[in-house]
């Protein structure tokens, strides 16, 4: 899906979004509600109310990119059960989410983030 050799964070918006929004509308949500930098290179995940469509907004170094998916059967996992907290996913969990896996955010699918010893000292 979204290929990268670097570690990317994925931030899932914890509520339904009107997916008629484009670059500017989704960027405004990232900055205003998620309090994140849209130009960080991280991925920002949004789903609609019925959880049949999703969009991922990401800065690729030259511009904003929107990846969009519509499920023909079933629903995406409901990521807004946690009472409005922003949810961080791994790239693996994002891939599973976009495939329609219902276990995303239900159980831990990825190990905890590893921080090398040299980075911890600074």
Most confident of 67-71, 73-77, 96-100: 67-71
CA angle 66, 69, 108 (to 5 degrees): 95
Say yes or no to pLDDT of 72 above 60.
yes
Question: Considering the chain, what is the average pLDDT of its residues?
Answer: 84
Q: Over range 47-52, report the average pLDDT.
A: 94
* Buried b / exposed e along 10-44 (16+ C-beta atoms within 10 A): bbbbbeebebebeeeebbebbeeebeeebeeebbb
Q: Going by C-beta distance under 8 Å and a sequence separation of 6 or more, which residues neighbour residue 81?
A: 105
pLDDT in the model for residue 88: 87
Higher-scoring residue by pLDDT: 117, 87: 87
């Amino acid at each position: 899906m979204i290929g990268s050799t670097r570690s990317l964070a994925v931030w899932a918006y914890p509520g339904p979004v009107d997916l008629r929004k484009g670059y500017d509308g989704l960027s405004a949500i990232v900055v205003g509600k998620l309090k994140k930098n849209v130009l960080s290179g991280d991925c920002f995940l949004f789903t609609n109310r019925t959880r049949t469509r999703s969009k991922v907004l990401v800065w690729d170094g030259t511009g904003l990119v929107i990846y969009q998916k519509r499920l023909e059967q079933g629903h995406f996992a409901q990521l807004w059960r946690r009472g409005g907290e922003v949810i961080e996913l791994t790239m693996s969990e994002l891939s599973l989410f976009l495939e329609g896996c219902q276990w995303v955010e239900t159980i831990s699918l990825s190990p905890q983030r590893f921080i090398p010893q040299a980075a911890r000292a600074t």
